[in-house]
Amino acid sequence: MAEPAGRSVWGSKLGFVLAASGSAIGLGNIVFFGANAYRFGGGAFYVPYFAALFVLGIPMMIVEMGIGQTQRRAFPSAMNRTTGQKGEFLAWWSLLNAIVIAMYYITLLAWVGTMMVRAITGALYDDGVGATFGSVLGSSVPVIFVFVIWGLNAVFLSRGTKTIEATVKVFVPLMWVFMILLVIRGLTLDNGLQGVWYLFTPNFKGIQDASVWQGAFSQMFFSLSLGLGTMTAYASYLPRKADVVTNGGMVSFMNCSFEFIAGLAIFSMLFSFSLQPSSSTLGMSFVVVPTGIGEFPAAATFFAALFFFLLLIAGLTSSISIIESPVAALRDKFGWARSKALALVMVIGVAGSLVFALPIMLQQDGKDAAPLGISLLDLMDHWAFGYSLLIVGLVEAILIGHVYGIDKLRAELNENARFTLGPWFGVLVKWIIPVVISVVLLFNVLAELDISIEALGLAGRGFYEGDGPFDGLDFLPGLIFGVWLGGTVLGAFLLTRIGSYDHEGGDA
Ligand code: PHE
């Protein structure tokens, strides 16, 4: 069958694997994993984590890549062709969440960039890293970085697969080298190996706790870049003969190896310097780990700059994939030029990133309590990250499993696969994955409603965990929830209804 006219194709299989693993390996692997592993009890975490990899992660990776490659379309169009308008609606909803996540992911990178500059100029450790980060949040330098980082993304995405491929060929190998340097440094510190035991001594008591499973599942989805249409968009640029089963397995494996190594680097360092890990991803990235690096016997500033540079390039190869997903979707639906789709996503995205980066402080009892941007970021992250990825995974598994028919997809993928998928794959996608995600989501909602079931290890937390310094702004959590839900649902509805795929002509 002919390739759709004008659709670009990856230059090589390596290019695709690097791009997909560059998407997967990001802030999620380097710092969120450590924070989550600590929050959910170290050795209790990786049992659910590996279960999540095999039961949920690898199969959904193959499904998301599979529909992109077989339909040669980005997420909404691929879902429309396989499962009709319901599927298209789901896909647009996920892409609107992708835009929200891109907004704050880039604000995070703007903070990373600012901290990197502080490290290079030698000011990082002057008053302690915590104070430095506080001053970064209260300054307007990150606002400049928001423009710089969106600008870099625009450059890397300007010519589609060509420029993406050129970028990842440099950045992805580089981040492996930097990570390996950090892990060698970490493990050779005094007592460094103790952190390894903490992280990898199984703790079978903790796995009875529902929140540990919930944490591991969300972490796995985010880490593998699932639920935002990114893997579908990237795989839509694969040639028809590509082996998605092998590629999907390989990308998942590389991602989790990187995460594993990052965990070793971070925990060896924390134990060596008896630092208290942080369960907050921001605290871990911007304060605890850099503080640990500051204790290195030599070249601390060099390693700190290296750490932030590593976060920056790993984050950039992820952010380009989050942005490419809606860009590819708009082009497929409306037949727009790349520049037009990119410009639209950027205008909306930059505005959002700026809101998260504005140096406005919230006040509590007359004192500065927290930056408004971080509080908004936390609130948005709670819904867009905590819920949407799993909801998309759940509905996607049901639609592809039952409406399109997983055995149809399986047969299509097996044609090119070196390791063919057996009937077990269908059982996973049709039944096990939907049931498992439903249970995890149900527990999440119960906890959100402050319902506790002790026998199941379920502890109520209340709406959005109920903390946050919203002095006089108590309406904020409710408002953000409303804006998120109303905006994404309405937007997805409109995007599904307007326009048509007519311009695709005979190929459709
Ligand atoms: N996987 C990326 C990370 O670990 C984040 C990401 C999520 C990228 C979803 C694309 C899509 O940081």
Between 215 and 462, whose confidence is greater?
215
190 Cα to the center of ligand 1, angstroms: 33
Question: Are the beta carbons of 109 and 345 closer than 8 angstroms?
Answer: no
Could you tell me the pLDDT band of residue 36, with boundaries at 50, 70 and 90? confident
pLDDT digits (tens, 9 = 90+) for 307-340: 999 999 999 999 999 999 999 999 999 999 999 9
By most ligand atoms within 8 Å of CB, the mutation choice from 21, 23, 32, 219 for ligand 1 is: 23
By most ligand atoms within 8 Å of CB, the mutation choice from 221, 225, 226, 323 for ligand 1 is: 225
By most ligand atoms within 8 Å of CB, the mutation choice from 95, 112, 222, 319 for ligand 1 is: 222
Residues 6+ apart with CB under 8 A from 437: 56, 217, 390, 393, 394, 397
Please, what is the Cα angle at 346 between 345 and 352, to 5 degrees? 95
For the cut 60, the answer to whether the pLDDT of residue 507 exceeds it is no
pLDDT digits (tens, 9 = 90+) for 62-79: 999 999 999 999 999 999
For the cut 50, the answer to whether the pLDDT of residue 506 exceeds it is no
Q: Following CA atoms 115, 120, 121, 125 in sequence, which dihedral angle do they give, to the nearest 10 degrees?
A: 60
pLDDT digits (tens, 9 = 90+) for 221-237: 999 999 999 999 999 99
Half-sphere exposure of 231 (CA within 13 A, CB side): 31
273 Cα to the center of ligand 1, angstroms: 30
pLDDT at residue 5 in the model: 54
For residue 225, the SS3 value is: coil
Could you tell me the pLDDT band of residue 343, with boundaries at 50, 70 and 90? very high
Output the ligand 1 site: residues, CB below 6 A.
23-24, 26-29, 222-223, 225, 228, 230, 318, 321-322
Could you tell me the pLDDT band of residue 256, with boundaries at 50, 70 and 90? very high
pLDDT digits (tens, 9 = 90+) for 424-477: 999 999 999 999 999 988 987 887 888 777 766 666 666 665 455 566 677 888
pLDDT at residue 428 in the model: 97
* Nearest partner of 107 among 136, 87, 135, judged by Cα: 136
Q: Following CA atoms 214, 216, 219, 220 in sequence, which dihedral angle do they give, to the nearest 10 degrees?
A: -120
Please, what is the Cα angle at 57 between 318 and 107, to 5 degrees? 25
pLDDT digits (tens, 9 = 90+) for 92-110: 999 999 999 999 999 999 9
Q: Burial letters for 381-420: b for 16+ Cβ neighbours within 10 Å, e otherwise?
A: bbbbbbbbbbbbbbbbbbbbbeebebbebbebbbebbeee
